[in-house]
Chain A
Amino acid sequence: MALGKIADNRADHWGAQFRKGCLEMAILASLWKSRLYGLEILRRLERSSSLGLAEGTLYVILNRLKADGLVHSEWVDAGSGHPRKYYWLTASGKDRLRTMARFWVQFSGDLDALLESVLSGRELASVHR
């Protein structure tokens, strides 16, 4: 029983680490088509991914991406009473994202094939739902 709990905790930890590792790619991907500010990026991530991050983490990662030269930013006063900081991808940000996307598609495709037999059809359907 206790061993089962430890295994569950490890699986949770693995899931959290995995999501954390994907955050950078997901944030860059959310900026692929348009300039967005922090809250818009969060909403997009909430809509189209199950990454579930502390909202402040987004700003830490954006700050790092900016220091790495992958995104640019600009403060815009949109008349909402407080300015918003908009982000967009730099040329090297786009290159990095393309490389990540190629890696991801191939990697996940290979693993999908490997894991196909692990989950039953019903479990697979519930995961995709």
Chain B
Amino acid sequence: MSTDSAMAAVNEYLARLRKAFDYLPSAERDEMVEEVRSHVLERIEAEPCLTEQLVNGILRAVGDPEELASQDRTEATLRRALKTKSPWVLLRSTLTWATTGIAGVIALFVTLTGYGCAAVCYLSVFLKPFFPSRIGLWLRPEHTLTLGYWDGRFSGTQVYGISVRPPALFVLGTLSPTEGPVRELLGSWLLPVGLLCGALFAVGTTLLTRWLIRRFGPRKRSQSPRLELTTGAVR
């Protein structure tokens, strides 16, 4: 086997490796690929006679790139999430986590709901100047408060947004249509209140999601056997 064709096989493997580890930040990924490259080349250089079988054997020993990445993807993604304030990264991370078990599904639900509420608040602030009579904080006859969009109908009225009804109803979206008048409570105060509520939802969701990852993430579980056995604890 010529050195050129050996290098072609190595480069093809490294390209697969780079693609499989696409969830890592690019600097981290480049460094890992470079390290594996150095490893493979040193293995190849140690062989007196280069054959295709030998190069393939060396690459097989390093491992299938997709399989290697699958062992690490969730952990690395959540590790990155712990250092970020970006809702997008946190959402993607919890989505990856959700594919591994129920804790991830719950975290994804919490994160989606929290950022969804923040989005409703900001969207209401943004749309209020364009639809002043339709956007607001609405009080419905059954004592439900809804921040969002009223469809303008007086019968079979629908309001879309965040709804709360004491003591325990919370809905993101819309409730069943209601009969009777709806009353807007905030007027132009919606702008500062919406901005404040949006910020609180966004920051609160970020902190809560990161706490969930730290407390229930797979890394936490794998490290968690508290390394403090008392004498005879296993007996």
Contacts and interface: CB of A to CB of B under 8 A. Distances in A.
Contact of A85 (B24, B35, B234): B35
B61 A55 contact: yes
B184 interface: no
A55 to B, nearest CB: 5
Interface string B16-49: 0100000010001001101111110111010000
Contacts of A38: 35, 38-39
Contacts of A113: 235
A111 B71 CA distance: 29
Given A102-B227, A103-B228, A84 B38 contact: yes
A84 B45 CA distance: 14
B38 A103 contact: no
A55 B234 contact: no
B63 interface: yes
Contact of B32 (A54, A59, A107): A59
Contacts of A82: 37-38, 41-42
B43 to A, nearest CB: 8
The binding surface of chain A is classed by DSSP as: helix
Contacts of A63: 24, 28, 32, 72, 76
A54 B62 contact: yes
Contacts of A99: 227
Give the most central of A54, A80, A107, A114: most B CB within 10 Å. Answer: A54
A63 B36 CA distance: 12
A13 interface: no
B234 A111 contact: yes
A60 B21 CA distance: 10
A100 B28 CA distance: 27
Interface residues of A, number: 28
B135 to A, nearest CB: 44
B68 A60 contact: yes
Interface residues of chain B: helix, strand, loop or mixed (majority): helix
Given A82-B37, A85-B38, A106 B229 contact: yes
Interface string A58-94: 0110011001000000000000111111000000000
Contacts of B225: 103
B63 A55 contact: yes
Nearest to A53: B63
Nearest to A84: B38
A64 B72 contact: yes
B63 A110 contact: no
A39 interface: yes
Contacts of B45: 80-81
Contacts of B42: 39, 80, 82, 84
Given A60-B68, A103-B227, A114 B41 contact: no
Given A59-B36, A63-B24, A85-B35, 14 more contacts: A39-B43, A56-B17, A56-B62, A56-B65, A57-B68, A63-B72, A80-B45, A84-B42, A85-B31, A99-B227, A100-B227, A107-B229, A110-B235, A114-B235
Interface of B: 17, 24, 28, 31-32, 34-39, 41-43, 45, 61-65, 67-68, 71-72, 75-76, 79, 222, 225, 227-229, 231-235
3 interchain residue pairs of minimum CB distance: A54-B63, A56-B63, A110-B234
